[in-house]
Amino acid sequence: MAAMRLALVSLSILVALPALCRAQEPGPQPCGQDAAHADYGAVTVGAVVVPQRHRFVGGDPNWDARQGRFLGRIARVVRRSGVDASGCPGVRLDVDGGRFFWRARDLSVGAERPRRELVASASELPEACGRAVYGPLRVGSQVVLGRHRPVDGVTNFTRSMRGYVDRSARVVDARELDDRGCPGVRVDVDSGRFFWRVRDLRLAGARFAPGMASAHGRPAREDAVVAEADSRVAQACGQTDANAQYGVVTVGTEVVIGRHRPVDGQDNWVEQMDPYVGRRARVMELVGVDDQGCPLLRVDLDQGDWYWRLRDVRLP
């Protein structure tokens, strides 16, 4: 991703949106430590931090896909948690109720959330670069993602972003300008991973504007939610990791994502999974069972961020 630079604009018509947390320093980087002498640096109990995705250390990221929903959010350290198998010091955070181990080396420390003043625009969504103009966008606005068009020959767009194009998403944070001066936002559908230029978004439900690029915001499919089980796919829960049965579904099988149906009153579902329902994906991994004994998959569509119940996918 292209480098970003902070832009604070104060003009006569102002719209306040939360800004990117300004991370003042990273946590200590060395791993290979022991719990008794672990160096946490500035990652002290009570410190305000912003969690980032764990990088690999010796081939191991020590990462749970469920941690993805907390990326980029302001959090407070509630306790130190020793070191993991790679000797990386870690802590517990309030943002997830202390559930996950967060490596100190992948935390941004000393975050603050300054007030962002953004100028309003009379157009639906502003296309100009060079100023932090967000128009009618607010945190919580529903948008449709579009492929970035070049600005001075630079798109600031990666292959990993392609799978999200044309999908509906909700704005979760306002961000700085990129290195071409284009304002952007973070959205829920990719857990805040990518920078999306405002000029290439469309407000959900809005009409296509003249000259809109073909990749811009075709509405997400509303007829693709899978409501009934596919009889070709194994439905049984109550299994264990050791004996999980996947039937005809193997690594590489193409499937259509479906919303989880409750099992014993539990659906193992969060709202961040909603945008993937009805979309095709390819199985990357068979990963055992959840608390209800339902076999689980990881798929390429979300880069393996979420666990999907086998019983609720269908074959195309």
Interval 234-292: pLDDT, tens: 999 998 878 889 999 999 999 999 999 988 888 888 777 888 888 899 998 888 888 88
Distance CA 198, CA 130 (A): 12
Closest by CA to 185, choosing from 169, 206, 162, is 169
3 state SS of 310:
helix
Asked if the model's pLDDT at residue 89 lies above 80, the reply is yes
Has residue 193 got a pLDDT over 70? yes
User: Any idea where the domains of the chain sit in the sequence?
Assistant: 23-109, 115-203, 221-316
Rounded Cα distance, 132 and 126, in Å: 10
171 close to 185: Cβ distance less than 8 angstroms: yes
Percent helix, strand, coil in the chain, to 5, is 10, 30, 60
Tokens of 79: 């306790």
For the residues of 79-114, what is the DSSP string, one character each?
EEEEE-TT--EEEEEGGGTT-S-EEGGGEEES---P
Q: Is the dihedral of CA 139, 117, 124, 279 positive or negative?
A: negative
pLDDT for position 111: 56
The model carries a pTM of 0.35
